[in-house]
Structure 1
Amino acid sequence: MNFLKTAAAVTLGVSLSAGAMAETTMRVASWLPPTHPQNAVVWPTWSKWVEEATEGRVKIAIEYGLGHPKTMFELVEDGVVDASFSYHGYVPGRFKLTQAVEQPLLGVDAEAASVAHWRIFNKYFAKAGEHDGLEVIGLFTHGPGQIHMADPVSSLADLKGKKIRLGGGVQGEIGHRMGVTAVGAPAPKVYEMMQQGVIDGVFIPMGEQKSLRLKEVAKNVIALPGGMYLGSFGIFMNPDFLAGLEAKDRAAIMAVSGEKLSAMAGRAWDAGDAAGLVAAQEAGVNITMVKDGDALSKEFKDLTNGMDQAFLESVSDRGVDAKAALAELRDVARSYK
């Protein structure tokens, strides 16, 4: 009888051990505050999808404080962490094609843009190899980038010479055309820089009025219709980590990623913008809501003349039909329901 009990105990122990070994934790690096929609909504939602799809065999652990957002690409490539996300504009020499979705006057929200971004990337841009060394599992944009200033301005011409934090990508070209003094820094540093008077303002979505507490330091906002630009982000995994999973778990993770993840991320950032607008209004931020046809709107449209052609010339070495891709991206985004 004792032998049977011992055998049963050993069998149970081996079974539990095998179950524990089968469970894998995916380490995900994040560089935004825990309260930001990316960390409060996107990662938890996707984590739940992954855990359910893999029947609990793959779980997600979010890690903070691992460096500048531009280093996230390298951290994942090198296997320091298993997955992350970042803003393509932080690595301008590597990522050029992703600026297609950032071009001005697209006139859609982040969800529509994100779905178009994912589809066009897979159809046209993936083969260019800008993400070599990474498994791209999602692409999204933040909401419309707007003008957030410490002091009020009445026209875009008033921005000339102002110290503006720019994050790279298309906003850099817009800032150049405006004649601003560009200051580079990761988004989480903007509050401190505004507070200390290092910068006069920032081009960033409305959501950061709440998530980065800009409502306390950037008390004047110009909100252009459709914004000035959208910002391109990638969500990516280490290919070796993915290859190390069982085939069924790889398939399960990819099934809850791609367009589904891209749309959800864009939707979460849209909701963040709505919350940011409310927070700014409640904090007494002076918000100028520009309408189509207003002087500021016309001024911005004139400012953007030729940007499409400049983008196409900048990616002429990528070996893709960027003109067709840009046209199709706009069609997909504007027809998205």
Structure 2
Amino acid sequence: MSFRNLRRYAATGLFGAVLAGAGLFAGQASADTYKWITSKPQGANDAQAISTQWFVDEFKRRTGGKHEIQVFWGGSVAKTREIPDALSAGAGDFGDIITPYFQDKFPLNNAVGFFIPQPNSTIEIALMMQKWHRVYPQFDAELAKHNLKAVGFRPLESYGLLCREPVKSLDDLKGKRIRTYGFAYPKIVEAMGATPVSIATSEAYEALQRGILDCTPIGPALARGWKYDEVAKYFVEFPFGASFGHLVAMNRKSYDAMPDDVKAVVEGLGREYAMRYAVDLEIQIAEVLRGWKDSGVTVMEFPVDKAAALVGNPGVQEIRKTWIEKANAAGLPGEEIAAELKF
């Protein structure tokens, strides 16, 4: 049953009965099986799905088989953009939240999305997020407002530009149509002299194929996963840095209801998760780069100093200032945190 249908039952007053009958109520203390809701398809051979399965397997092993997690793959309970509300409402205990889709809802936890380009790698961003949640209670409080708790962090890989034509300098980008999303990407693309185009991830393949897009920001693993590299054959190592991608989150009531020893297992897995995921991701990226040599994708360098100079653009600076102001308003040292995200 999808989250959409659950909401329909809620409107008729049958929500509790349906959830109880379906076994979907999160936080059932008597249950030994927790539910993980995700839009990832079962059997997907990527770092996100592989590390999810690792977490699930380790949870069962470390609790001595007394507790386990059942994964509801492929958006079977909630689609990508429904997951935060579904998880908050109790349609699952664990779930993946793609935070860049919810920058207005989780602005603090989307800090990295306001600072593109930035110089940090996947694991560096993951460790930053862990530190910020440990040191600054405002990050956790933002999630708590929605009955959510972060238990792991899954940044995206370092992005470059996948293009239909070679790009060696900023002059080559002028007038190009480049896919953007969120707050920072449109401004950095404008600073390049290019045109930002808002197109959904699922529609970008056809847009590249038909020439509606000239380039899209993406990393090698995701480019292969979405098969964009079939229609765009030049990967430009433009130093966007790693974006923050996914929270591995829990329904907060489910977490609070866990016995202390089970909480300790979850917290331990959460600390280890970032490294496990980052290693899986690097393995996958290396495999993609080897495959590109045979499939005709050319990897092109781009001067870091030329890219970093774009950060001084007034539009880019305004987006960064926006996040710092939000952070300061929440009682955070906005400038101090932002310093970690600057070239």
The answer to whether the superposition gives a TM-score over 0.5 is: yes
SS across alignment from 1:282: helix
**1:74 positional shift:** 1.6
Structure 1: which 4+ aligned runs deviate by more than 4 Å?
308-311
**1:228 positional shift:** 1.1
Q: Match for residue 16 of structure 2?
A: none
- What are the Cα deviations for residues 75-131 of structure 1, in whole angstroms up to 9, with x where unaligned? 211222332223322112123333444535653431222112211233126357332
Q: Match for residue 59 of structure 1?
A: 69
**How do 1:58-137 residues align onto structure 2 when only pairs under 5 Å count?**
58-66=68-76, 69-102=80-113, 103-104=115-116, 106-124=118-136, 126-127=138-139, 129-132=141-144, 133-137=147-151
Q: Which runs of 5+ in 1 are unaligned?
A: 1-20
CA contact (8 A) 2:119 2:241 kept: no
- What are the Cα deviations for residues 241-279 of structure 1, in whole angstroms up to 9, with x where unaligned? 33344443233222211x222232233333332223222
Q: Match for residue 11 of structure 1?
A: none
Q: Which runs of 5+ in 2 are unaligned?
A: 1-29
SS across alignment from 2:332: coil
**1:330 positional shift:** 6.0
CA contact (8 A) 1:30 1:84 kept: no
**CA distance in 2 between partners of 1:183 and 1:129 (Å):** 34
77-86 vs 306-315, which moves further: 306-315
Mark the CA change 1:128 to 1:180 in structure 2 (over 3 Å): closer, same or farther. Answer: farther
Structure number with bigger Rg:
1
Q: Structure 2: which amino acid aligns with 1:91?
A: F
Q: How many residue pairs are counted as aligned between the two chains?
A: 302
CA contact (8 A) 1:99 1:170 kept: no
**CA distance in 2 between partners of 1:256 and 1:74 (Å):** 24
SS across alignment from 1:154: coil
Which of 248, 264, 272 is 1:251 aligned to? 264
Q: Match for residue 20 of structure 2?
A: none
**CA distance in 1 between partners of 2:262 and 2:94 (Å):** 15
Alignment RMSD (CA, Å): 2.9
CA contact (8 A) 1:110 1:266 kept: yes
SS across alignment from 1:30: coil
**CA distance in 2 between partners of 1:128 and 1:47 (Å):** 23
Which of 210, 217, 222 is 1:203 aligned to? 217
Question: TM-score, normalising length from structure 2?
Answer: 0.76
CA contact (8 A) 2:180 2:216 kept: yes
In the alignment, structure 1 residue 162 sits paired with structure 2 residue 169: no
CA contact (8 A) 1:170 1:229 kept: no
Q: Match for residue 18 of structure 2?
A: none
